[in-house]
Structure 1
Amino acid sequence: MKPPHPLAVSEPTDPDVDRGIPAQRPGAWRDQAPVVAVVALGGATGAAARYGAALCWPSQTGGFPWTTLVVNTAGCAVIGVFMVVISDVWAAHRLVRPFFGTGVLGGFTTFSTYAVDVQQLVAADRARTGLALLGLTPLVALATVWSAAWVTRRIVTWRQA
């Protein structure tokens, strides 16, 4: 008998599970379908909100993309509050985080729009503005999510006292 590969992961065996039957495999599609569905629904909602923001506050061609920066900053603030609330305050349903955190906020804040904005600024001979956006966005995003989480924790602690 050949010894197992040193990096092989051994799975616990359950005599009542037949791994030849797909419905009995761990992580079967039927277990993941609700998560996939709420992420898709949330993503569509967040993307529609982002599109609405771009329609309400369009950026000038070649100008600084303020809408993208504001939307990404607002989304980071919301995720900072949301993560504290669902971690420290509220025992949320298992589909809340995938729906709102991954779906809605993932569709609302997006790296692709930011990257396209940088590329368009550089292509329009506004490289300095593109580089400013390239550096400013992650700094503002990280500072905003951290600040929002910090303030939310302070409020929660104050209210519980």
Structure 2
Amino acid sequence: MGLVRLLRRHAPALLVLLILFPAAAHTVPLAGQPSPPFKAITTTGQEVSLDTYRGHVLLLDFFATWCIPCRVSVPHVVEMKLKYGRQGLQVLGLSADDDGGEAFRSFVNELRINYPLAPASQAVQSAFGIRSLPVMLVIDSRGVVREIYRNFNDEVGRSMELLIRRLLTEQ
């Protein structure tokens, strides 16, 4: 009887917690854990998944055209693809934009994005715990998340590049 009374008394608080912290939030990947599986269709119509990138170092970049910090991070990601693409770095940009309209095309052209892009479904965003942008994950050739970078600044850029260089030499 005591448990029922306790649940009734705290039901509103429990409901708020369930709404604010859904079960998916508990499955968010951490560095050192396997990446959640994902599937997406790129803007060129190619289906990609985590398995597509097995055997490669993958930089997974969650961004949006309306995200001001993304305008700073995306050029760095473009540069990383130029510098390390021939050594095996793969990059996939996952857009949190609602559509691929003119604003999206303009963003891609203006920033000269040189890697595949795909819309990030709500399921994919939830699986990766995306609550703000930009978020970049470095995933090793075995599919393990090696680091998660939230937001972007020069220090994040340097750290990401050092990790990618190290992982590429380990392959």
When normalised by structure 2's length, the TM-score is 0.22
- If each structure's strand is expressed as a fraction of its own residues, which one has the higher value? 2
Question: What TM-score, normalized by structure 1, do the two folds share?
Answer: 0.23
* Structure number with larger C-alpha Rg: 1
